[in-house]
A and B are shown apart, each in its own frame.
Chain A
Amino acid sequence: MSAPRDRFKGGLASRLVQVGFLVAISVLWYLATTRWGVNKLLLPNPLNVWDQLVDVIAKGEYLNDLRITLTELAFAFAISMVSGTLIGFAISRSPYFTKVFEPLFAGIYSIPIILFLPLYVLFFGLGPASKIALGTTISFFPVVLSTIAGFSNVDRVLVTAAKSMGASDYQLFRYVLVPAALPVILTGLRMGFTVALLSIIGSETIASLGGLGHRIVNLAENMDMARMFAYIVFAIAIAAFLNTTVSVLEARGKRQR
Chain B
Amino acid sequence: MSATTQQISAPSPGIVLRLKRYMLRHPGVARLGVVLLLFVAWEIAARWFVDPMFLAPPSKVLFAFDDVLATRGVPAALRLTFFELAIAFSIAVVIGVVVGLAVGLSKFGNRSFMPIILLLYGIPQITILPIFILYFGIGAASKIAFGVTHGMFPIMMAVVAGVQNIKPILMVSARSMGASRWQILRYVIYPHMIPSFFSGMRLGMTGVLLGVLLAELYVSTAGIGYFTSVFTQNFDPTKLLGLVAMLAAMAIVLNEVVRRAEVHFARWRD
A156–B199 CA distance with the chains assembled, in angstroms = 29
Q: Which one, A72-80, A167-175, A176-184, A213-221, is touching chain B?
A: A213-221
Contact A104 B240 (CB under 8 A): no
Known: A14-B111, A104-B34, A205-B130. A96 touches B24 (CB 8 A): yes
Residue A240, interface by CB 8 Å: yes
Contact A99 B244 (CB under 8 A): no
Q: Which one, A57-65, A111-119, A143-151, is touching chain B?
A: A111-119
Residues of B within 8 A of A114 (CB): 210, 213-214, 217
Residues of A within 8 A of B209 (CB): 112
Contact B108 A115 (CB under 8 A): no
Q: Which one, A46-54, A81-89, A196-204, is touching chain B?
A: A196-204
From B107, which residue of chain A is reached at the shortest CB distance? A10
Residue A129, interface by CB 8 Å: no
Contact A201 B124 (CB under 8 A): yes
Known: A96-B1, A96-B27, A243-B122. A216 touches B251 (CB 8 A): no
Contact A117 B217 (CB under 8 A): yes
Known: A114-B210, A114-B214, A206-B217. A232 touches B27 (CB 8 A): no
Known: A96-B24, A100-B34, A239-B124. A122 touches B213 (CB 8 A): no
Taking the nearest CB of chain A, how far is it from the CB of B256, in angstroms? 9
Taking the nearest CB of chain B, how far is it from the CB of A66, in angstroms? 13
Residue B135, interface by CB 8 Å: yes
Contact B126 A201 (CB under 8 A): yes
Residues of A within 8 A of B229 (CB): 118, 207
Contact A232 B217 (CB under 8 A): no
Residues of B within 8 A of A23 (CB): none
Binding site secondary structure of chain A? helix
Known: A122-B237, A205-B218. A115 touches B126 (CB 8 A): no
A190–B123 CA distance with the chains assembled, in angstroms = 16
Contact B210 A123 (CB under 8 A): no
A212–B55 CA distance with the chains assembled, in angstroms = 29
Residue B2, interface by CB 8 Å: yes
Residues of A within 8 A of B135 (CB): 42
Which one of B2, B122, B217, B235 has the greatest number of beta carbons of chain A within 10 Å? B217
- Which residues of chain B from 96 to 133 have a CB within 8 Å of any chain A CB? 107-108, 111-113, 115-116, 122-124, 126-131, 133
Which one of A10, A11, A17, A110 has the greatest number of beta carbons of chain B within 10 Å? A110
Contact A217 B126 (CB under 8 A): no
A13–B113 CA distance with the chains assembled, in angstroms = 11
A101–B127 CA distance with the chains assembled, in angstroms = 34
Taking the nearest CB of chain A, how far is it from the CB of B68, in angstroms? 13
22 contacts between A and B (CB under 8 A): A10-B108, A14-B111, A18-B112, A18-B115, A42-B135, A96-B1, A110-B255, A112-B209, A115-B244, A115-B248, A115-B251, A116-B244, A118-B217, A118-B228, A118-B229, A118-B240, A118-B244, A119-B241, A201-B124, A202-B126, A213-B127, A228-B130
- A-B complex: 6 closest residue pairs judged by Cβ atoms: A220-B130, A99-B27, A17-B112, A118-B228, A14-B112, A14-B111
Given contacts A122-B235, A198-B126, A205-B130, 5 further A-B contacts (CB under 8 A): A96-B24, A115-B213, A122-B237, A206-B225, A235-B127
